[in-house]
Amino acid sequence: MHDAAFLTTATRHGGGLMRAAAAYPDAPRPWLDLSTGINPEPWRGPRAAEAELNRLPDPGALAALETAAALAFGAAPERTAATAGAETAIRLLPLLLGVRSVEIVGPTYGAHAEAWRAAGVATRLIASDQAATSQAGVLVIVNPNNPDGCLTRRADLIAMARARSAKGRWLVVDESFIECAPDDSVSDVVEPGLIVLRSFGKFYGLAGVRLGFMLAAPDLISRLGALLGDWPVGADALTMGRGAYADAAWRARTEATLSERAARLDEQLTQAGFDIVGGTSLFRMTRTPHAAPWFQHLCRAGVLTRPFDHTPDALRFGVPTERDLARLARALETFS
């Protein structure tokens, strides 16, 4: 695959190391994947036992997972449903809500618009300053936003949820990166029209486990359960999710570590000529007039970043480990 062709495909979402390796066969291995916002140092508790992998997941284990997650979120278990990643919940929302119009604060994670448009729902992207006056049946806000880290404050979200609930409208808040800004979570807020989506894999560094959650009124949670069936997640998700959400000490250490590394990454990127325009402690959003040449240069160095078609001067960097910060620094120094 030609450099320019791969640049185009890489704008859809992060990941895709196999395509990167095919486009840049001479790049050093292993690749350093900074194209996503996934913690590179995952929670390392126990996985499912062999016996658990050999049988269907137990309903009691699912209930225990949802209870542990609800406790970590400050929510009630009866308002909490596990899904195979937040992506599953995103794709099922059109089936659950049955509305005719959706407005999404953007630009943001593309799966939201894809899901609603695929269901034939009138879908429009709006600016953040239009959110409070939205008249659509559903309003979607990603908080912190992906990819720029823009944050909507908790008090503003609560006010919107109350106003929309009073008019029979929905507010969907995607909190996939909320561990980076926990004080602004609305996972604990009880409003009939509020739906909150949570991701396990990003902060806990276990995206391949495929675990997420929907938090909503119990009747909507019951309808979601009917769509998902008896076994919405697998044995590893049940075991690892339950253990990770109970590990408050790991969560606190990781919040501090990620913040420190994000600050060091900012120093490297600023020295290389990038403008830091946003992000979270899991990723940094930058601007440069040379975004495409930078993307291609870093690929040749075996470092995958994230370009954007809607903002061609933007490049996003995931926050790397301490060791990989040094590798990135070497790659940044060789750009010409």
Of 246, 263, 287, the domain-final residue: 246
Of 246, 279, 294, the domain-final residue: 246
Question: Does one domain contain both 232 and 292?
Answer: no
* Average pLDDT of the residues in 19-47: 94
Question: Does one domain contain both 35 and 60?
Answer: no
Question: Does one domain contain both 123 and 213?
Answer: yes
CA–CA dist 39, 206 (Å, integer): 8
Question: Does one domain contain both 86 and 231?
Answer: yes
* Average pLDDT of the residues in 65-88: 98
Question: Does one domain contain both 187 and 259?
Answer: no
Structure confidence at residue 240 (pLDDT): 98
Answer yes or no: is pLDDT of 114 > 60. Answer: yes
SS3 215: strand
Model confidence, pTM: 0.95
Question: Does one domain contain both 34 and 153?
Answer: no
Counting the structural domains of the chain, the total is: 2
Question: Does one domain contain both 230 and 208?
Answer: yes
Question: Does one domain contain both 195 and 85?
Answer: yes
pLDDT in tens, 215-241: 999 999 999 999 999 999 999 999 999
Question: Does one domain contain both 159 and 89?
Answer: yes
Distances (CA, A) of 171 to 60, 91, 160, 191: 31, 16, 8, 10
Question: Does one domain contain both 22 and 116?
Answer: no
pLDDT band for 136, please (50, 70, 90 cuts): very high
Answer yes or no: is pLDDT of 10 > 70. Answer: no
Domain housing 175: 50-246
The pLDDT mean for the chain works out to: 95
- Amino acid in position 9: T
Question: Does one domain contain both 56 and 185?
Answer: yes
